[in-house]
């Protein structure tokens, strides 16, 4: 069994839930595609890696199973799942329904500080892409949208969306290097900021719809390019 993905060390922070920390670590590895579909996640080895008992490892894996990111075979093994398209569609529907209203609300506000903050994030995201810093690009993208939800006074809903978006995030990660997707993300962010600054809620809503629907519209190409990653 190849356990090279467990190389290195990880120290659990004291005073925090071990299961939550293990879940966050494994989820990040799965969503970033560092742990590809088919990767085995054996509980004893994970427990040794995290220097803990098997119980918090089991609890973390159960959370990942609930999110559709792993398959657990009782008394056998746990493996990373292929991207579940139905799960991705459900997460996309939820986020789209919420973010359309977020964009409309922001376009009705006069918040120069928010616009300045979002433009700084867009500059940082552009810089990340120019340096081919994919992790930085994705993290800044998430921070851009989190700030939108927070400014609309629905920050808790952002965390709810994120907790359900593992498969959609993997799909977007696969799409990022294809068909100029990253450049489109940057242009669409810039256009959305312009619409908010002009106080045009209809245009802001339309731009969000276009921005969020690009990946699912490319499923045929994604299946052809990454057949081993997408659940049939």
For residue 33, pLDDT over 70 is answered with yes
- Residues 112 and 179 both lie in one domain: yes
Predicted structure pTM score? 0.89
Task: Provide the token pair at 228.
Answer: 């081993």
Whether residue 43 is found in the same domain as residue 136: no
- Asked whether residue 125 carries a pLDDT value surpassing 60, the answer given is yes
- Tens-place pLDDT, residues 163-180: 999 999 999 999 998 878
Task: Write out the residue range of the structural domain in which residue 117 sits.
Answer: 85-225
Q: Examine the domain organization and report whether 59 and 26 are in the same domain.
A: yes
Q: How confident is the model at residue 155 (pLDDT cuts 50, 70, 90)?
A: very high
Whether residue 44 is found in the same domain as residue 99: no
Question: pLDDT digits over 15-28, tens only?
Answer: 889 999 999 999 99
């Amino acid at each position: 069994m190849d356990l090279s993905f467990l190389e290195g060390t990880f120290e659990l922070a004291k005073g925090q839930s071990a299961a939550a920390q293990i879940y966050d670590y494994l989820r990040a590895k799965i969503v970033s595609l560092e742990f590809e579909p088919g990767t085995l996640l054996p509980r004893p080895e994970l427990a040794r890696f995290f220097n803990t008992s098997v119980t918090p490892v089991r609890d973390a894996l159960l959370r990942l199973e609930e999110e559709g990111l792993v398959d657990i075979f009782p008394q056998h093994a746990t493996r990373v799942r292929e991207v579940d398209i139905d799960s991705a569609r459900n997460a996309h529907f939820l986020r789209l329904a919420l973010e359309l209203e977020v964009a409309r609300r922001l376009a009705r506000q006069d918040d120069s500080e928010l616009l300045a903050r979002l433009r700084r994030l867009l500059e940082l995201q552009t810089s990340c892409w120019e340096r081919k810093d994919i992790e930085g690009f994705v993290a800044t993208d998430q921070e851009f949208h989190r700030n939108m939800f927070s400014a609309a006074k629905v920050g808790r809903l952002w965390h709810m969306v994120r907790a359900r978006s593992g498969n959609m995030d993997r799909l977007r990660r696969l799409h990022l290097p294809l068909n100029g997707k990253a450049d489109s993300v940057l242009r669409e962010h810039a256009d959305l900021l312009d619409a908010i600054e002009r106080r045009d809620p209809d245009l802001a809503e339309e731009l969000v719809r276009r921005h969020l629907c690009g990946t699912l519209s490319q499923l045929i190409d994604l299946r052809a390019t990454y057949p081993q990653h997408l659940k049939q």
